Amino acid sequence: MKKTVVLFIIGALVLITTGFWIFSGSSQVETAELVSLVVIVLVVAFALFVGYKRLTSVKKGEPAEDEMSKKIMQKTSSLSYYISLYLWLAIMYFSDKSNFETHTIIGAGILGMAVIFAVCWLVYNFRGVRNE
Amino acid sequence: MNNRIREFRARYNLTQEDLAKKVNVRRETIVFLEKNKYNPSLKLAYDIARVFESRIEEIFIFD
């Protein structure tokens, strides 16, 4: 239950911080900022969806986490870490060829990692974990 | 690995939710088990077998 509450708090904090970042800068929102905003909202929506699933499980009298959800998280973490290494490799390669600012590149990398994690989680949730 | 959880559940007139509560997992886990998308731990297999008053190998079939 504590984990779920923390998940909701982090989601809210991320949204508030993003709001400050987007609306405290220039009055006109650039396309790159808009794309970042959409990705952040999607990632937060994913986190809230996971939190909601946990809450509904608890309400039904089931555990918030069980051996399968833990296994899915474990597999998701290992796969997304592995893929993220390649993402950073690609970012390193393309950062030499582009003139983006360092913080923009790091931000894109972090967002990319979050997206990779969400996609891996979805893949394991649809495909299942068979240990074969 | 295949299993006969759906068959045993019908025999014992249990819903997926009932079984999930009895073995302390989420209903989703029972759904995944029945679709053969997840292989349970030995403890979960044992708990399920105990609910159905059967041996593990009667419910879970190792290919």
Q: Does position B11 have pLDDT exceeding 80, yes or no?
A: yes
CATH assignment at residue B14: 1.10.260.40
How many structural domains compose chain B?
1
Is residue B23 a part of any domain in this protein?
yes
Q: Could you give the count of Cα atoms lying within 13 Å of A26 in the half-sphere of its Cβ?
A: 6
**Would you say residue B9 has pLDDT above 90?**
yes
DSSP A30: P
pLDDT at residue A30 greater than cutoff 90: no
Closest CA to A118 of A89, A90, A76: A76
Q: Write down the pLDDT at residue A33.
A: 76
Lowest mean pLDDT among A4-8, A27-31, B26-30, B38-42: A27-31
CB contact under 8 A, A127 and B37: yes
Contact: A57, B25; criterion CB under 8 Å: no
**B61 is a domain residue:** no
Q: Is residue B45 part of a domain?
A: yes
The answer to the question of residue B63 being in a domain is: no
Alpha-carbon distance values, B56 to A17, A84, B2, B42, B52 (Å): 52, 40, 12, 9, 10
What's the pLDDT at A24? 76
User: For strand B60-61 and strand B2-3, is the pairing parallel, antiparallel, or unpaired?
Assistant: antiparallel
Give CA–CA dist A40/A110, Å, rounded.
Answer: 10
- Minimum-distance CB partner of A62 among B1, B21, B35: B21
Q: What is the DSSP letter of B38?
A: B
- Look at residue B40 and tell me if it is in a domain: yes
Provide the residue range defining the domain that includes B12.
2-54
